[in-house]
Amino acid sequence: MPKNLDGRLVVAISSRALFDLEESNKIFEEEGLERYVEYQINLENSPLKPGVAFPLIRRLLALKDPVTGQEVVEVILISRNDANTGLRVLNSIQHHKLNITRAAFTSSRPPYSYLPAFQADLFLSANPDDVSVALQHGKASATLLTGPEYEDDESPEIRIAFDGDAVLFSDEAEIVYKTKGLEDFTRHEVENSEVPLMPGPFKGFLVAMNKLQTMYRDSGEQPIRIALVTARQAPSHKRAINTLRSWGVTIDEAFFLGGLDKEPILSKFRPHIFFDDQRSYCLSASGKVPTGHVPSGIANK
């Protein structure tokens, strides 16, 4: 176990994002805290089923430096449970053989203030309030939406899909679209095609994933695949590409859909997580793939 987290990609995740705790949460909401505590303690030796983010987390934890063989990703459980009721989650981590050794139990307090202490690059939660506050404090964060059970497989490949505006990029262009319409948006983007967009909340996470990809480049294997799935279309695609180029970032696949539904593309790419700021796109996608809503930008004001 390292004495610090320097040089590692750090993902902070809530228990409801990692495991299926919908039944437990329903008991908490309908019957109260006392009944919830009793329920969790009575079942603390009954392993929880995998949740929305489980396929992603399992694969991230398996990543190792191809030269040293050391783990390169640290996953930290951050839960609103207390340690007493959180024991079932820890037992489930052990049951599923996940190499998660660090945890924080906040006893209902918002977890955002602990994210910098853990050097978190990404925060995944099922609590939209926690995600919103963490995002406001500068942490890449997303609310995991539950949908039909994701049919996982044994492939070690990690596939991550990002929307562009208000996720990887700022919402500066989306503001033009929302306030002035498509024609002015297209004109604005063509005129500024060589001017990089300002970073969005997930730029840092994308750069961190790109560094991991670079680490594998000389080894002849590439376990990470990244896609941009955006409503942009030609000619506004050029500014997005130039922005990524200015960051020194490469992506594996890019889809410029011109407002088409993203779900058919995502069904083929099958990401282990898809990040988007538009809730309508998220709701459509969550029926097919693990999806994280990023409450960022003008679409969420």
Is 163 among the catalytic positions? yes
Q: Write out the two tokens for 58.
A: 């399992």
CA distance 210 to 9: 11
Of 130, 163, 165, 277, catalytic: 163
CA distance 298 to 107: 33
CA distance 177 to 175: 5
Known catalytic residues are: 163
